[in-house]
């Protein structure tokens, strides 16, 4: 017997990275499930004519602008019920000769923007004793590859931050989740393949529809981690049980420069 689809009727939902990929699918599905959706993206033009979604342009690297946007929505609507921090950027680099400015740019969007969003809406959610936050990480934090140190570091930090906050506020009936989507041929994933990255095993490949369904059905549940591709979550076992095999496999999956 299939599990009933979770509804979000009348809820105020905000999704970053909503113009494409996983963020776009989550925004569309939240609207289809009854939520009033605000779609945030640095390039929000594709959302302007989408029914059920209010498009809001914002550069998430600008923490003050993102904080003001969230505060404005909360003031206008009286609350924020769901915040999905999905936006992310990636660019391979060699750590040899790299500078910290590159790392800061990746971290501003992938980590600090999600931190800003989480900290901005948490007081209202804990005060009402109701709300859900979804932060999108990456399965690559379980199995980092070469030339992805900035991206993996940003997502690893986000995972640790999210889990700690989730444990802090769970007794207040606020649910904070970290999403591991598997590999998705979103614009981000497609660019990686175009650079020459080896296609991941079929067991960890997911569509945006599958990831969105896993995420939305998991919101408000007991699990902090939402694994859209459960096979990818088993990678740490290989690291523990067969370290040489794990290193050999991962060495062959380096991100081309």
Catalytic residues: 151
| Non-local CB neighbours of 204 within 8 Å, separated by 6+ positions | 139, 182, 183, 229, 231, 232
Q: Give the separation between CA 139 and CA 181, rounded to whole angstroms.
A: 7
User: Rounded to an integer, what distance in angstroms lies between the CA atom of residue 188 and that of residue 125?
Assistant: 31
Going from the C-alpha of 95 to that of each of 28, 68, 103, 147, 157, the distances in angstroms are 38, 35, 10, 7, 18
d(CA 208, CA 24): 9
- Cα separation, 23 vs 35, in Å, equals 15
Q: Are strands 183-184 and 174-180 parallel, antiparallel or unpaired?
A: unpaired
Distance CA 66, CA 56 (A): 10
Angle between the N-to-C axes of helices 63-77 and 113-128, in degrees from 0 to 180, rounded to the nearest 10: 30
């Amino acid at each position: 017997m299939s599990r009933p689809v979770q509804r979000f009727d009348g809820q105020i939902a905000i999704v970053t990275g909503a113009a494409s990929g996983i963020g776009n699918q989550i925004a569309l599905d939240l609207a289809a499930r009854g939520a009033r959706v605000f779609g945030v993206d640095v390039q929000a033009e594709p959302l302007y004519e989408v029914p059920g979604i209010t498009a809001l342009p914002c550069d998430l690297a600008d923490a003050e602008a993102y904080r003001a946007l969230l505060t404005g929505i909360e003031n206008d609507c009286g609350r924020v019920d769901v915040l999905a921090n999905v936006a992310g950027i990636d660019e391979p680099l060699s750590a040899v000769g790299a500078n910290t400015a590159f790392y800061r740019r990746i971290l501003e969007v992938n980590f600090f923007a999600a931190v800003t969003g989480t900290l901005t809406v948490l007081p209202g959610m804990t005060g009402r004793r109701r709300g859900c936050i979804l932060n999108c990480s990456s399965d690559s934090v379980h199995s980092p590859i070469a030339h992805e140190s900035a991206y993996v570091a940003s997502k690893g930090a986000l995972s640790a931050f999210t889990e700690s906050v989730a444990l802090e506020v769970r007794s207040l009936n606020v649910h904070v989740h970290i999403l591991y989507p598997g590999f998705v041929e979103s614009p981000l994933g497609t660019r990686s393949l175009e650079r020459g990255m080896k296609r991941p095993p079929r067991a960890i490949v997911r569509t945006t529809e599958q990831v969105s369904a896993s995420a939305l059905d998991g919101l408000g549940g007991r699990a902090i981690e939402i694994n859209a591709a459960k096979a990818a979550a088993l990678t740490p076992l290989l690291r523990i049980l067969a370290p040489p095999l794990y290193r050999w496999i991962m060495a062959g999956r380096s991100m081309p420069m």
